[in-house]
Amino acid sequence: MGDQVSERKMDLASWQENWVNSADFQFGLNELNSVVAREELLRIAAARLQESGAGYFQIEEEHQSDVSTAQKNAVPNASDEENAPKAGRQRPPKIEAEIAQLLPCVGETKETIRNEIWDQLDINNLVRFPRPCHGRIPNFQGHQRAANRLSKCKEYLEARTITVNENDAQEKVRYLSLWDRKVLLVPASLEEGLMWEIDGNDITDKKCKQAASKRGLASAQFGGDRPKRLRDLKGKHLDLVVIGSVCVCPRTGLRLGKGTGLTDLEWGMLYELGVVDEHTTVATTVHDLQVKPLPGYLKTENDVTVDIICTPTKTIRVRNRAPRATGINWHDLPEHFGQLPPVRDLRRAKQLKERRISEMNQSQSGSSASCSANGSLNGNDAVDVNNHEIDSICEGSR
């Protein structure tokens, strides 16, 4: 009887492995986009697990029939009656920890995941000043080791122009960028400008640390009183983008920030300007505890997904990165974002560009039959119109 039970357990373990690797499970895991679909996947998984485990439980019941008559006739106490399962109900087989981790947790939201990560970092004393880390990009313990790992990546070594967010957790990345004589761009307050720019070639060795700090970035000594605007970024291209995260998924590169949406907005603006594109490498430095599989239904079209994750102990390259935002979603843009000067100027430039292209298409279609057949501007003309409108709009805002 024991051998038969062992065989059924092995069959069940084999089935669980095949189910996780099956096309149905992978499709459901990658394509989850609603609570209904997620609950349906869990229902199917539970049904199949219970169905496959039925024979095993029957064997267990037969094995229990060999128990001595004294044990069967023993009078149960009150606690046994309370804990005893209901008649006819079979307990499903145990799911291995690896499989349970792959199954999405019903009810998880971005906010609950952020709070969970913040709580764990604070409770385990894994963050530095400022504390508590709630509502912030955590300044995690070991951020210097994570920055050193990033500085050894091929994408960093080959990059000439890098943008790094202004959070304390990425200060060492900013320092290394200046020390390695790269051009460093740091997002500024969108009410004042768009980017601070510091060229590592213009900074002495002793000034690199000061220039990489928050105070140094905003100081007049390093040009902090003159943040770059839309016009100043014309013709630039970022080779590497480093952003902070509260939580990041190692499978899809989906990241959760502190919930303000500013990082996604800055990426969208840079994409609209042509400073970044779909081939631009995006990296983040986080603590190992901040690396966690995230369900696919949390992904939105505005999210910026990452290619490289550096922690104090390892470097993770995301092989199946989810698509990232390709500009600003103007229809769903919050009103308070639309009132920011750079966003307002960029929207005006985009509207004028579309109007100019429409007018030129109409004039071309009316002038000759050949132009009517084409019916649109070529790509170079569209880029020229875009740059011309951005120049004309931003000239007055400088």
- Distances 184 to 101, 148, 155, 161, 200 between C-alpha atoms, Å: 39, 17, 15, 6, 7
CA distance 21 to 156: 35
CA distance 271 to 8: 56
Task: Give pTM, 2 decimals.
Answer: 0.67
The pLDDT tens digits of the residues spanning 43-101 come to 666 666 555 544 433 333 334 444 444 444 555 554 455 555 555 666 666 655 545 54
* Alpha carbons within 13 A on the beta-carbon side of 158: 6
Q: Give, for all 398 residues of the chain, the pLDDT tens digit.
A: 555 545 554 555 565 556 555 555 555 455 444 555 556 666 666 666 555 544 433 333 334 444 444 444 555 554 455 555 555 666 666 655 545 545 555 568 999 999 999 999 999 999 999 889 999 999 999 999 999 999 999 999 999 999 999 999 999 999 999 999 999 999 988 877 788 899 999 988 889 999 999 888 877 667 766 788 878 887 889 999 999 999 999 999 999 999 999 999 999 999 998 999 999 999 999 999 999 999 989 999 999 999 999 999 999 999 999 999 999 988 889 888 988 888 988 888 888 888 888 888 888 776 655 544 444 444 444 444 455 555 555 544 44
CB 250 within 8 A of CB 309: yes
> Residue 43 carries which DSSP code?
H
- 142 Cβ contact partners less than 8 Å away, ≥ 6 residues apart: 287, 311, 312, 313
Of the candidates 382, 389, 381, the residue with the CA atom closest to the CA atom of residue 345: 389
Residue owning tokens 């995230």: 294
Cis peptide bond N-terminal to 130, omega within 30: yes
Coil, strand or helix at 385:
helix
| 283 membership: H or E segment, kind and range | strand 281-285
Query: Domains, the chain, ranges and CATH?
Result: 1-66+95-105 (no CATH), 112-330 (3.40.50.10420), 340-395 (no CATH)
Of the candidates 47, 10, 44, the residue with the CA atom closest to the CA atom of residue 27: 44
Of the candidates 247, 231, 361, the residue with the CA atom closest to the CA atom of residue 309: 247
The pLDDT tens digits of the residues spanning 353-398 come to 888 888 888 887 766 555 444 444 444 444 444 555 555 555 444 4
Q: Is 264 exposed, middle or buried (0-12, 13-18, 19+ CB in 10 A)?
A: buried
Per-residue tokens: 245: 């995260």
Q: Count of CB atoms within 10 A of residue 194's CB?
A: 28
Beta strands 255-256 and 161-164: pairing type?
A: unpaired
CA distance 305 to 288: 18
Residue owning tokens 């020390």: 179
CB 250 within 8 A of CB 291: yes
Q: Hey, which residues does 96 pair with through a beta bridge?
A: none
CB 140 within 8 A of CB 127: yes
Q: At what angle do helices 54-64 and 2-21 cross, to 10 degrees?
A: 160
